Amino acid sequence: MEVLRPQLVRIGGRIYRKNPIQEQTCQHEEDDEDFYQGFVEYAEEPCDAYEVVPTQQGFRCTVKAPSLLYKHIVGKRGDTRKKLEVETKTSISVPKPGQEGEIVITGQHRSGVISARTRIDVLLLTFRRKQPFTHFLAFFLNEVEVQERFLKFQEEVLEKCSMDHGVDSTIFQNPKKLHLTIGMLVLLSEQEIQQTCEMLQQCKEEFIDGISGGKPLEVEMAGIEYMNDDPGMVDVLYAKVHMKDGSNRLQELVDRVLERFQASGLIVKEWNSVKLHATVMNTLFRKDPNAEGRYNLYTADGKYIFKERESFDGRNILKLFENFCFGTLKLNSIHISQRFTVDSFGNYASCGQVDFS
């Protein structure tokens, strides 16, 4: 059924279907590492991208990485590290599991140290991208008025459309968790969480204050739309969010935040612009109330998860509630929210935030 409902990708203002392909599943994570060792030999090796320090014995370079990724540098029985050391003529020291620290590369030749550093960076990036998202940047949209209007929307949809295929109470969002996502993050240590907080503060000082004028952004959450291209087979239905004064300031602000985090490497570049939306119905909630949209793709060890879902017929909902108004809000904070957590108010726990006023 996923072939009939592929992921949609926006490129250059157009939307394309991203058709799934069948990939061979490896039995062991270590096999992925062994396979990758051959590929990493062809990584591009920059000459001056890294800080390489001369020593009495040759040269030295350090790599900061969360301890969760150390095992991918060491490999099964230490094979990955040994292969890197032999091919680059270096010595690579990796902290013990559970200990935070730096990976240290030493060697007699500067070119060898740079080569080892480049290959380690490629390994780290590859396996970081296989980690499930841990946090996300977001505005909370759970003001009391909006929650009440959302519950009214749910009540009326179930009253008028419950006979439509796949429509039931289990696929509605938790009103306390209504939010607008700016970007997804993989933060694997306290240091990376702190780095994210600092980056968000830099955004505030450099452009958020200028765009917001030091005041909350007054927005309206109104109208509904669906993610895929068949209203008869909908998986995600969302409410649209826009500035009440008709300006483009919210879109400009979130796009610039996304761009800054993509440039820093904290967010993998997937989109050039943020799609302003608040999910109100999602078929993943049907079997798992804690599911979080298309981001539940990998387990903690990097294995792909296939989420079977039963779509719903959204044609009547779209017709009857096309312009439904969920209310107005004043957006005053961007939060670093942690997935699969709940605070005392029933919302996602926040690890940090910046306020506009």
Residues 125 and 186 in one domain: no
Residues 259 and 243 in one domain: yes
What residue type is assigned to position 198 of the chain? E
- Coil, strand or helix at 351: strand
Residues 213 and 347 in one domain: yes
Residue 38 domain-assigned (yes or no): no
Average pLDDT (228-233) is 93
Residues 143 and 218 in one domain: yes
Residues 152 and 254 in one domain: yes
What is the number of other CB atoms lying within 10 angstroms of the CB of residue 241? Answer: 22
Query: How many domains are contained in the chain?
Result: 2
Residue 177 domain-assigned (yes or no): yes
Residue 53, pLDDT above cutoff 60:
yes
Residue 15 domain-assigned (yes or no): no
User: Residue 111 maps to which CATH number?
Assistant: 3.30.1370.10
DSSP secondary structure, 84-137, as one string: HHHHHTEEEE-PPTT---EEEEEESSHHHHHHHHHHHHHHHHHHHTTSPP-EEE
Phi-psi region of 187 (alpha: psi -120 to 50; beta: other; left: phi over 0): beta
202: closest CA among 141, 153, 251, 266? 266
Sheet architecture: strand order including 53-54: 53-54, 59-64, 102-107, 90-93
107: closest CA among 85, 123, 125? 85
Residue 11 domain-assigned (yes or no): no
What residue type is assigned to position 55 of the chain? T
Model pLDDT, residue 15? 57
pLDDT digit string, tens, across residues 177-208: 999 999 999 999 999 999 999 999 999 999 99
Residues 115 and 143 in one domain: no
Per DSSP, what are the bridge partners of residue 323? none
pLDDT digit string, tens, across residues 90-146: 999 999 887 889 999 999 999 999 999 999 999 998 998 889 999 999 999 999 999
Which of 109, 129, 149 lies at the terminal end of a domain, its last residue?
129
Report d(CA 128, CA 15) in Å as an integer: 27
Phi-psi region of 220 (alpha: psi -120 to 50; beta: other; left: phi over 0): beta
Containing structural domain, residue 72: 52-129
Cβ atoms of 235 and 283 within 8 Å: the answer is yes
pTM: 0.79
Residues 76 and 187 in one domain: no
Residue 303 domain-assigned (yes or no): yes
At a CB cut-off of 8 Å and minimum separation 6, what does 99 contact?
67
pLDDT digit string, tens, across residues 269-324: 888 899 999 999 999 999 776 666 554 455 555 554 555 789 999 999 999 999 99
Residues 210 and 328 in one domain: yes
Residues 123 and 145 in one domain: no
Residues 143 and 261 in one domain: yes
Which of 95, 129, 163 lies at the terminal end of a domain, its last residue?
129
Report d(CA 21, CA 3) in Å as an integer: 9
> What does the block give as tokens for 155?
């009540």
Q: Give the distance between the most distant pair of CA atoms in the chain.
A: 79
Average pLDDT (340-348) is 92
Burial of 326 (0-12, 13-18, 19+ CB in 10 A): buried
Residue 78 domain-assigned (yes or no): yes
Judged by average pLDDT, the poorest of 22-26, 100-104, 323-327 is: 22-26
Residue 13 domain-assigned (yes or no): no
Report d(CA 134, CA 154) in Å as an integer: 29
Residues 156 and 117 in one domain: no
> What does the block give as tokens for 127?
């396996």
Residue 211 domain-assigned (yes or no): yes
What is the number of other CB atoms lying within 10 angstroms of the CB of residue 127? Answer: 21
Residues 108 and 207 in one domain: no
Which of 129, 149, 181 lies at the terminal end of a domain, its last residue?
129
